[in-house]
Amino acid sequence: MRASEREIDEYYGVDGDEFLPTMLSASPWRRDAQNGVALGLLMAHTLEAQFDPSREQVARFTLDILHPAPFAPTNVTWSTIRADSRIHLFEGKLEARGLKAVRASALVLAAGESAPRTDGGRDFAPPAESSERELNQQSGLNVRLMRSGSRGAATHSRATAWVRVEADVTPGEPASNIAAAIAAADMGAVALRRYRDCWDFPNLDVAVHFVRPPHQGWLRVDTEPLMLGAGVCVINHRIFDGEGPCARAHQTLFFNPRRRTSA
Amino acid sequence: MRSLFRLEGGLFHPLPFAASPGAVECQSSAAVAGLLAREIELATALAPLWLARLTVEAPRAVPMAPVATRTRVLRDGKQLQLIQAELTIDGELFADAIGLRVRKGDSPYDAAAPHGLGGPDAVSGAPPFGVFGHDGPTRIRMVGGPSYDAFAYWALCEAGLVEGESATTVVRAVMACDAAAAMSRNARGEAACPGVDLSLYLARAPSGGWILAQNEAEHADPSCGLVSSLLSDSDGAFGYAHQTLLYAHAAD
C-alpha cells in the first residue's frame, strides 16, 4: 500500500519517554489493546538502541505477552542481564497504564569478521497479486499472501506471505531489518483462516532465531502450523530475504472455541 | 537407575552423569536445561497445565557444584501460566529459563506428516563426532550418514534427572534435543561452545522415551550459527527446538 493511502504513518507517537499508540497499533481482537505486530516492532526498535548494530547482531528475540497491553501511553525499558566480549543478554519490559504487559529477552552476539551487510542485497520483490488489502490498511504492513499447500511437518494450512513494513515505528524512524523480521513473524494467523469462524486463537508469544540480520525490504515468510489438538498451535516460520534464508521463528497460538452470540 | 543430580539439603548436587562431555569440570547444558525444565513443570499451578514452550538462557558455564533453583510466576491463571526458573550457585545466577504452560483444551488436529525415517530399532549409527561418551546419560543413534549441517538422530535419555525420580517426557525431550548443538560444526569444522541457549516449542507433550531430532545447522559466519530441530516421537512430529551456536575462535 502506498503511504498516501494510509491516514497514519507510524505505529507510535512519542512524548518524552512515552510511546503513544496510534490506530495502527490497535488490536484486531479488542480495540482497547495494542496488537502484537506493533508491540514487537516497538520492543525491537527500543532494543536496537541498546547496542551498536555495526558491531553486534541479534541472534534471538523472544517476546511474551503477559497481558493485553492497554491502548494507552506506553513505557519500555531494557536492562542488561549479562555482557561480555561475545554475548549481550537483554531483558525488556513494556508497561502501559501501570500494567506490565510484555516481557522480552534478546541474545545479542558480537558480529563476526565476515558478518553480512544488512543493506542492499539483490532485488527481492514479490509478485503483485494477492495483496492483503484489508490487513494492510489496518496494520501498516504490506502483506501479499501467495499460496497455501501441504508440505513439511504439517499436512495442511501451509502458507507463504511476503511482508514489508510500510509505516514508521515512530515518526521519521522506519522499522529496522530486525524489527521487520519480528513483525513478519507475527503472520501465523494467515495460515489459519479456515478456523476463524469457530475458534479464537490469540498469540501468546513470538520468538525469532536469526541466522544473520535480514536485508532491508521485502521478506518472504513460509508458514506452517503444527496443531495436534492439545490446546495450542505452534506456528513454524522460515524467513527469507533476497539472499536466502535468514531466520526461523515461532508463535504459540492459544485456541479457544469462539463464543457464538444469538441474533 | 543412575541420575544426574542428587537433591540434598535443598540443593541439587551434580553427579558424574551431569558433567559436560567436553569439559568435565562443568555441568552439561543438557543437565542445566533439564533441571530448569523440571522446576517449571513442578511449579504450583491453579489447574493442570503442560509445558508448551521453554526458553533456556545459559550464557556462562555452570561448574560442577551444588546448585539452587527458584521459580517465580510472571503470568498466572487456570488456562496458562508463564514461569521463570533460575539456577544459582551461592546466590549467583548462572542460567535461567522461561516456561509457558497451558491447559490441555480442545483445538484443531492436523496430523503431522510422517518423518519417513527408520525407528530407533532400525538404525544403529553411533554419534560420529566423539562428543558423547560411550557411557553417557543419553543413548544416541544416528540416522543416515554423518553431516555437519543436516543430520538426524534418535535419542533416549536413560538416566534419571534427579535421584529417586523418573524424568518426565518433556525433560527427556529437552535433554535429547540439546545434543544437536554438540554435533554441529562451522565451516572450519570447529565445535560450538556449550549451550548458549535452547528453545523448545511444543504442539503437544512428547510420549515414550525415544526422541527423533531432525536437525539443520546454518552459519552465515564462522563465529556463530543456529541449529534447528524438528522433534518427533513414535507418534510423529510434536515440536521444534533451536540453539544458538557460538564458536570459540572468534574471540581470538
Q: Cβ A115–B57 below 8 Å, yes or no?
A: no
What is the percent of chain B where pLDDT is above 70? Answer: 93
pLDDT of B113: 80
Which residues between 216 and 245 in chain B have a beta carbon less than 8 angstroms from any beta carbon of chain A?
A: 218-226, 228, 230, 237-240, 242, 244
Q: Cβ A252–B53 below 8 Å, yes or no?
A: yes
Secondary structure letter of residue A86 according to DSSP: S
pLDDT of B61: 92
Q: A76-80, A137-141, B100-104: which has the minimum mean pLDDT?
A: A137-141
Label residue B137 by pLDDT band (50, 70, 90): confident
Q: Which residues contact A1 (CB under 8 A, 6 or more apart)?
A: A131, A133, A136, A137, A142, A166
Label residue B22 by pLDDT band (50, 70, 90): confident
Domain boundaries, chain B: 3-106+114-250
pLDDT of A122: 52
Q: Contact at 8 Å (CB) between B241 and B119?
A: no
Is residue A256 over pLDDT 50?
yes
Rounded to an integer, the average pLDDT of B56-82 is 95
Q: Cβ B223–A231 below 8 Å, yes or no?
A: no
Q: Which residue has the higher pLDDT, B24 or B9?
A: B9
Question: Cα separation of B148 and B161, whole Å?
Answer: 29
Query: Considering CB atoms only, which of B55, B105, B251 is closest to A86?
Result: B251
Sort A68 into a burial class: Cβ within 10 Å, 0-12 / 13-18 / 19+: middle
Select from A25, A62, A89 the least CA-distant residue to A182.
Answer: A62
Question: How close A201 comes to chain B (CA, Å)?
Answer: 9
Question: 3-state DSSP call for residue A51?
Answer: coil
Mean pLDDT of the residues in chain A: 86
Rounded to an integer, the average pLDDT of A69-96 is 95
Global pTM reads: 0.93
Q: Cβ A229–B80 below 8 Å, yes or no?
A: no
Question: Cα separation of B216 and B246, whole Å?
Answer: 15
Q: What is the DSSP string of B56-112?
A: EE--SPPBSS-BEEEEEEEE--SSEEEEEEEEEETTEEEEEEEEEEE------B-PB
Q: What CA–CA distances, in Å, run from A60 to A87, A210, A252, B83, B225? A: 12, 6, 16, 19, 11
Which residues between 176 and 215 in chain A have a beta carbon less than 8 angstroms from any beta carbon of chain B?
A: 195, 199, 204-205, 207, 209-212
Cross-strand pairs, B54: B99, B200
Is residue B188 over pLDDT 90?
no
Select from A36, A32, A17 the least CA-distant residue to A74.
Answer: A17
Select from B73, B50, B77 the least CA-distant residue to B171.
Answer: B50
Q: Cβ A64–B75 below 8 Å, yes or no?
A: yes
Is residue A117 over pLDDT 60?
no
pLDDT of B47: 95
Q: What is the DSSP string of A169-181?
A: EETTEEPPHHHHH
Is residue B133 over pLDDT 80?
no
Which residues in chain B are closer than 8 Å to A84, comparing Cβ atoms? 59
pLDDT of B135: 67
Q: A58-62, A150-154, A215-219, A228-232: which has the minimum mean pLDDT?
A: A150-154
Query: Considering CB atoms only, which of A105, A155, A210 is closest to B111?
Result: A155
Question: Cα separation of A227 and A163, whole Å?
Answer: 24
Residue A96 contacts B where some CB pair is shorter than 8 Å: no
Tell me: the pLDDT tens digits for A187-198?
888 888 888 889
Question: 3-state DSSP call for residue A106?
Answer: strand
What is the percent of chain B where pLDDT is above 90? Answer: 65
Which residues between 230 and 249 in chain A have a beta carbon less than 8 angstroms from any beta carbon of chain B?
A: 230-234, 236, 245-246, 248
Sheet order of strands, A232-241 included:
A12-15, A18-21, A74-83, A87-96, A99-110, A56-65, A203-210, A244-254, A232-241, A219-227, A158-165, A141-149
Mean pLDDT of the residues in chain B: 90
Question: How close A155 comes to chain B (CA, Å)?
Answer: 6
Select from B169, B229, B220 the least CA-distant residue to B195.
Answer: B229
Is residue A216 over pLDDT 60?
yes
Label residue B150 by pLDDT band (50, 70, 90): confident
Question: What dotted CATH number matches B3-106+114-250?
Answer: 2.40.160.210
Q: Which residue has the higher pLDDT, A149 or B107?
A: B107
CA atoms within 13 A on the CB side of A200: 10
Q: Contact at 8 Å (CB) between A40 and A63?
A: yes
Quote the ipTM score: 0.94
Is residue B42 over pLDDT 80?
yes
pLDDT of B39: 98
Rounded to an integer, the average pLDDT of A127-133 is 59
Helices A177-184 + A36-47 axis angle, to 10: 160
Select from B171, B132, B179, B133 the least CA-distant residue to B155.
Answer: B179
Which residues between 40 and 59 in chain B have a beta carbon less than 8 angstroms from any beta carbon of chain A?
A: 50, 52-53, 55, 57, 59
pLDDT of B59: 83
Sort A22 into a burial class: Cβ within 10 Å, 0-12 / 13-18 / 19+: buried
Tell me: the pLDDT tens digits for A3-35?
445 567 999 999 999 999 999 999 887 889 999
Is residue B252 over pLDDT 50?
no
